[in-house]
Structure formats: structure tokens, C-alpha cells
Chain A
Amino acid sequence: MRLSPDEIIFWQHGFIKLNATIVFTWAVMLFLAAGSKLITHRLSGDHNRSRWQNLLEIVVTGIEQQIEEVGLHEPKKYLGFLGTLFLFVATVSLCTVIPGFQPPTGSLSTTAALALCVFVAVPFFGIEEQGLGAYLKSYIKPTFIMLPFNIISEMSRTLALAVRLFGNMMSGAMIIGILLTITPFIFPIIMTLLGLLTGMVQAYIFTILAAVYIAAATRIRKPMPESEVKH
């Protein structure tokens, strides 16, 4: 039994290989990029808009709103990274209904790559927001003793991100695979629906957690905004 689409290798040349994870990721990337390009190349600035434009606007403004609700006050700055995270994971989850589709997020390599991106993005945005010194100081808050714990926390949450997404996606695909061998007709469909739900929830969780980590890194030394103090 395959645990990961990494194991399906289409082409290999030494260290370099072209497995199902990479190929399906490209497919998803192509779908997202081409779909976006197709819809956005004739965007309308007035009241008459196409349905697809409305859909895209709802998705983009929805993500933007979620990012803002997490506590990032300039959501447009983080929209590229966090929005792409969500859209990629969500699209991959949606695509699991396509027969033969191997979800790239079912591979620990992909989730680890995404978690690594978050792992790098958190200090990147943190340093960009409050400077290198202030960011590094945040590791020894409230006391110097907390430094190892903060570092362990940083590592473990990255690992948790990667494993959580991988586990959910892999298990979803695996359950469907097992059920297909036992009850081929009704249950796999129900489980596929459940898998869709789980995939969307995971996409949301992954993005929100990444947003929370970035927010924690960027707002750690900032005074509370006046509106929040009143509450």
C-alpha cells in the first residue's frame, strides 16, 4: 500500500525525479493560474461583473477578511502567501473527487514543504515588521529561560503543521481506498464527501494557524490598538 504519491515516480534521473506529487502539484498550479488568468484578464471595474469575477472577489475578500480577523492589520501584505496556502490546499482537497487524482498534500514532502515555507515566513514577516533585534528578543520573552522552549515551540509547531495536514489528507485517501475494497458503492461516496469537508477544514486550519503564527511574530511587541483596549 502506498502511503504517499511520492512513491509513484514517472521519471527519474539520479537524484532528480518526477513523481506524482510534483506532477499533480503542477496540474493544480496550472489550473489555478490558468483559471485566474482566464477570469481576471477581463475584469470589470463597474457594476456589471461576471459570475466568475464575483466568485473570485468573494474568495479573495473572504480570505482577506479572515486574515484581518486573525489580527493582521494589513491583510493585503500577507494575502499572497496565506491566500495561496489556502487556495492550494483547498483546491487539492476539492480535486480529490476526480478519479485517479493523487492529492499532493497527501505527501509528507508537500506538507513539510508548506510547513517549511511557514517556518521561514514567520521570522521573515516578523523581522520585516519589527526588525531583526526586536524579533530575536521575542525568543527570550518573558525571561531568558524561555529561549529553548520558544525554539522547541517553533520547531514543533512546524512539524505539527506538516504532520497534521499530511495525516488528514493521507488518511482520507487511505480510508476511501480501504472502503473501496470492502463496500465499493455507497460508503466511498460518503467518505469522499467527508474527505472534502475534512480537506476544506484542513485548508482553513493550516492557513489560520500560519496567520496566527505570523500575527504572533509581527505583533509581539506592539501596543494593543485603541479599539481593542476599549473592549
Chain B
Amino acid sequence: MIIDWFTVGAQTLNFLILVWLMKHFLYKPVLNAIDAREKRIATELSDADTKKIEAQKEIDTFKHKNEEFDRQRSELLRKATEEASEERQRLLEKAGNDAEDLGSKHRERLRNETHDLHREIRGRVQHGVFAIARKALTEFATTTLEERLGEVFTRRLRGMESPEKERLAQALGSASDPSVVRAVVRSAFDLPTEQRTVIQNALNETVSADIRIRFETRPDLISGIELTANGQKVAWSISDYLSSLEKDIDELLKKNNIKES
């Protein structure tokens, strides 16, 4: 008999035992290990995905921040450029104004200097003319310039036209008390008593009244005498002649300036 039924039964039992043994010792542990590993790998992949997403988020955040930073930088740059441009404009204007001020100051100073020069010239010319006149009068007429000036002033008082005379009389006659000083005679030099008497008489004759005069010395009245009474003024000085001389000199200087420019 090729089949031994006891052996068949024994082998069936053996096989079933082997199935149990293999399940217990091989399949279950191996499959469990594989499952555990797969689970761990899945967890790791999931973690990696989470980290990747977080990393992507951080990248996005940084990108956004970078863009914001770039935007702010360009904005700041633009503002700075505008401010610099405005500042430049302001400084240019200020420089222009300063230059203008400086120019006007310079012109003013030049003008002042010219004016001072003119005054100086005028003063010197006046003094020069006065000295020449005095010397000439002293030498040729045997009299002092002061005397001559007093005479001229007196003559002028006496030779006043009627309306002018009336205006002066009106100005002098407004005060009732004779002791009150009603007229002031200013001269560049101290008038001698004779001169003062002559002027006093001439004035009295002119206005037909006894006028009390106060004499004052004013060196800036270049070789001249002036009478002031209540707003009315009768004067003679070399200034009148010098004014025309000054005009001539001004014109001469202007011509020179035009030529220089």
C-alpha cells in the first residue's frame, strides 16, 4: 500500500501544528514588525509633510516680509529723494536769497560808501572853497569871510521880496512878549558882536519890530547863516553852491560807473 493512513493523519496533524508554529513564530512577528515600520515611516512622512508645510509657511512669511521690507525701503528711498530734492531746492532758494541779500547789502554798502564819499567830497570841497574864499576875501578885500557872510546874509534879509517878508513877519510876530526869543540865528562860526548887531538891526528893519534873537553856533552849517522863526527859515550858506557842485560830481561819477560796467 503506497498510502499509509496513519502517516496521512500524522502528517495532517504535523502540518496543522506547523501552520500554528509558523503563524506564531514567523508571520505574526514579521508582519507586526513591517506594520510598525510602515506606521513609523508614515508618521515620519506625515511629520516631514507638516514640517514642509511649516517651512513653506515660514518661507512665505519671509518672502512677504522681504517684499514688505523692499517696499518700505523703496518708499523710504523715494521719500528721502523727495526730501533731498526739496532740501536742495530750499537751499538753492536760500542761497539765491542770501546772494540777493548779500548783493543788495553790497549795493547798499556801495551806495553808502558812494554817499559818504560824496559827502566827504562835498565837505572837503566846501571847506576848500570856504578856505579859498576866506583867504581870497581876507587877502583881497581886507575883511574876514565871516564878515562878508554876515553882510551877504544881511543884504539878503533886506532884499527879501514882499510876500516872503510878510511870511517871515507873520512867523515872528505871533509872540506878544518881546522878551521871548522869537528867532534863532545859527551860524557855522561864532558871530562877532558887530555882525550880530547888524543882523539884529537888519531883521528889525525888515519886519519893523524888535525881535529877540538867539545866536547859536552849528559847525555843520558850512560857512553859512540861517534864521529860523516859527517854521520860517531864511538862510544862506555855501551849501547852495555846493549842491550844484555835488550834482555835477554825481553826474561825473555816474558816467564813470557806466563806463566801468
Chain A residues in the interface with B (C-beta under 8 A): 3-4, 6, 15-17, 19, 21-22, 25-26, 29, 32-33, 36-37, 40-41, 43-47, 53, 56-57, 60-61, 76, 79-81, 83-84, 87-88, 104, 107-110, 112-114, 116-117
Contacts and interface: CB of A to CB of B under 8 A. Distances in A.
B18 A45 contact: no
Contacts of B22: 32-33, 36, 80, 83-84, 87
B2 A4 contact: yes
A57 to B, nearest CB: 6
Given A40-B30, A79-B27, A19 B21 contact: no
Q: Which secondary structure characterizes the binding site on chain B? A: helix
Contacts of A113: 7-12, 14-15
B34 interface: yes
Contacts of B4: 6, 17, 19, 107, 109
A114 B26 contact: no
Among B14, B23, B30, B40, the one with the most A-chain Cβ atoms within 10 Å of its Cβ is B30
Contact of B2 (A3, A44, A46): A3
Contacts of A17: 4, 6-7
A165 B184 CA distance: 167
B19 A80 contact: yes
Interface of B: 2-12, 14-19, 21-23, 25-27, 29-34, 36-37, 40
Contacts of B37: 45-47
B25 A36 contact: yes
| SS class, residues of chain A in contact with chain B | helix
Given A33-B21, A84-B22, A114 B3 contact: no
A186 B21 CA distance: 39
18 contacts: A6-B7, A22-B7, A33-B21, A36-B22, A36-B25, A36-B26, A37-B25, A40-B29, A40-B30, A45-B36, A46-B40, A53-B33, A84-B19, A107-B4, A108-B3, A112-B3, A113-B9, A117-B15
Given A46-B40, A88-B18, A108 B26 contact: no
